[in-house]
Amino acid sequence: MSLPAVVPAPVSIEAGSGAPFRLSSDTVVNGDTDAATALSAIVAARTGLTLATGEGRDIELRVDPGAGAAESYRIAADEASVVVTGADAAGLFYGVQTLGQLIARDGDGWTIPAVTIEDAPRFAYRGVMLDVARHFHPVETVIGYIDRAASLKFNALHLHLTDDQGWRIQLHSRPELTEKASGTSVGGGPGGFYTKADYRAIVQYAASRHMIVVPEIDMPGHTHAVGLAYPELAEDPSISDHMREIIRDYGGEEPRVGAPYDGMAVGFSSLKIHDEATYDFVADVFGELAAMTPGPYLHFGGDESLSTSDEDFAVFVARASGIIADLGKTPVAWHEAGAAAGIADTTIGQYWGFLTPQEGAAEKATAFVDNGARLILSPADAIYLDMKYPDGPELGLTWANGPTSVQRAYSWEPSLVVPGIDDSGILGVEAPLWTETIRTAADIDTMAFPRAAAAAEAGWSPATGASDLRTWASFRERVGALGPLWKSMGIGFHPSDEIPWATE
């Protein structure tokens, strides 16, 4: 008997020998109200059926704090009943997502196979990143992405809120950031920003799906927009031959002082490192952001500061990470910041280098672990979701050894990326989606799915080789079986010809 398709792969799954549980309009779900609501929505989208609520025990959803580790769950299904037990509310929610994947058409009806699943995450942090600076994406699009990510057991949404092309978050302490620096995007689009109420709505919705929000304010580079609002804080653009090559290849004009930037070059901007007003700005921005963000992490960027000397970069990283740590938050920075000797020792590093580290990236990433902190792994040539597909649309870029196939997005092992860093030094996995070419919610779906599922499995499932399910051959079959569910949920995934997509 073949096993039912579950993504990400669970710790253990055993098919029962009995008949399946049959769903109908008379099926009763009881137990945790939030989980029942989530399950009812999945069942309605997948089958058109409306589950009843009451005293019956057809489907029971419950939390048992003694049932296992944080976020873990168990499913026991047979012909008579289905019981989903979570060790906590998040575990129960993830069990419900798995249960939704188990629903299958059986003739004219719908069934859940007889099965026992025991499951828990490998890593505590499992994130997706959405860049809303290069192209702004409204609240409803972000909420839709939260739903899609949560269905794959991601538990963090990293929002890249600022870049050279625009500032996207309202702050009362620095009102001119959105008044003067939010109106443009790559290619001359209209821009936009989140009000404080918008951001609160995103944070609250994410929490309802057991996700935290990790806001990123990128600095000291990627800060041309800051100079539009507060020119006294920003250095003049520094244009290198490499940046001119990017401008030649991708279009746009060279950045100019005081003018909005809508091109794709990087590395030309910097805050003034030795001006105390800069650190007053950093304190204002992150202080207000900390008060708005219940999650533990504040991301200060630190990448591609190509026009800042190594010495000045180290000074800035030490000051900025210290300001965040003093706020009671955990700083997060891209791996380049690991080179700064004075970085706050609690700072989490986010590795965005290649699967085979290049040009000192491994050493910089390792420095975070040497400090006693950990790494988030985002290898660009595996799980940067904005890289082109080999067989896909014209969306996306190719600089990260692209195009990136679904197989390459799947076929990597987190503990083997940075030499010497095993699971004890890894906080988790995050799949970024940069939006230089991504303008709509439909674009996000196309580029993220199915490759986000590969990243989800790297973050949640047992290590490669520790389970018979953790193979490319298994994954392509399992993710292909999700096609009908994704369609019913309105996910416009890319129908990659690498995957044998089920039709029903």
Burial class (CB in 10 A: 0-12, 13-18, 19+), 236: middle
Count of CA atoms in the C-beta half-sphere (13 A) of 98: 37
Which of 80, 83, 85, 97 lies closest to 22, judged by CA?
Answer: 80
Secondary structure (3-state) at 347: coil
What are the tokens at 479?
């993710």
Q: Please provide residue 182's backbone torsions phi and psi, each rounded to the nearest 5 degrees.
A: -115, 0
Which of 497, 351, 482 lies closest to 417, judged by CA?
Answer: 351
The CA distance from 263 to 252, in Å, is 5
The CA distance from 236 to 278, in Å, is 15
Catalytic residue among 304, 436, 477, 504: 304
What are the tokens at 312?
């000045």
Q: Where are the beta strands (DSSP E) in 92-137?
A: 104-106, 109-112, 115-119, 125-131
Secondary structure (3-state) at 501: coil
Q: Where are the beta strands (DSSP E) in 220-344?
A: 297-301, 330-334
Which of 177, 173, 286 lies closest to 225, judged by CA?
Answer: 177
Catalytic site includes residue 304: yes
Dihedral of the alpha carbons of 333, 336, 342, 348, in degrees to the nearest 10? 30
What are the tokens at 60?
């029971």
Which of 414, 371, 355 lies closest to 122, judged by CA?
Answer: 414
Query: Residue-wise over 386-412: b if at least 16 C-beta within 10 A, else e?
Result: bbbbeebeebbbeebbbebbbbbbbbb
Secondary structure (3-state) at 342: coil
- 101 near 482, Cβ under 8 Å? yes
From residue 461, give the alpha-carbon distance in Å to each of 410, 469, 487: 12, 9, 24
Q: Which letter does DSSP use for residue 235 in this model? A: P
Q: How many CB atoms lie within 10 A of CB 229?
A: 19
The set of catalytic residues is 304
